[in-house]
Amino acid sequence: MDAAGWNARYAASELVWSATPNQYVEARLASLPPGRAVDLGAGEGRNALWLAGLGWQASAVDFSDAGLAKGAAIAERLGVEIDWVCADVLSWAPVEPVDLTLVAYLQFPLAERRRLVANACAMTAPGGTLFWISHDSHNLPHGVGGPQDPSLLTTADELATLLDEGWDVIEASRVERQVTAADATRETAYDTLLIARAPAGG
């Protein structure tokens, strides 16, 4: 879906995504000391909003200005400051490297996925953290939701091979997420989770 399509989707409902952070973002990143963070493909900014609430200097980057506008309105109500950036996540770069680069459910074919990983690595400061979560290929035959195009799905092993040389993989796994269906039954979705640390440099 292009930017116009996402703008239309964000305009059609109060919130497309949850107002709370992804459960793995919250569980894995709550203990990190606040610094500078970038949320790539932030949409309405739920993860950036959560980070800002913890004291992070957060930037939320997305090509949908409608999604970012909704996030900015929430940030104003919450009294938190976020840098809202309408840009292409495959080429945008912060003014200076960041301590945390977060990528949540940005589903690209392999060629663009390589570019996204490379850009995410490039903007992460020495010793900084890359957090990535996306719909896993296991989800297509066994889970619910997410893209139905296999080329857009990921595995932890594949993502780890796309990292720049010298990165330390902290966690690379398939994780489960419980989803409530329309009839209130609980179903399972499968995600790829990758957490890695940039080389210390020097």
Question: Does the pLDDT at position 1 exceed 50?
Answer: no
Q: Look at residues 170, 161, 159, 174 and name the one whose alpha carbon lies nearest to residue 198.
A: 170
Residue 47 lies in a domain: yes
The domain total for the chain is 1
Report pTM: 0.89
Residue 183 lies in a domain: yes
Rounded to whole angstroms, the Cα distance separating 3 from 195 reads: 28
Rounded to whole angstroms, the Cα distance separating 3 from 64 reads: 5
Question: Does the pLDDT at position 16 exceed 90?
Answer: no
Could you read off the pLDDT of 114-148 as tens digits, one per residue? 999 999 999 999 999 999 999 999 999 999 999 99
Residue 82 lies in a domain: yes
Residue 112 lies in a domain: yes
Residue 202 lies in a domain: no
Domain region containing 26: 3-197
Residue 34 lies in a domain: yes
- The model's confidence at residue 15, banded by pLDDT at 50, 70 and 90, is low
Residue 45 lies in a domain: yes
CATH number at residue 103: 3.40.50.150
Residue 155 lies in a domain: yes
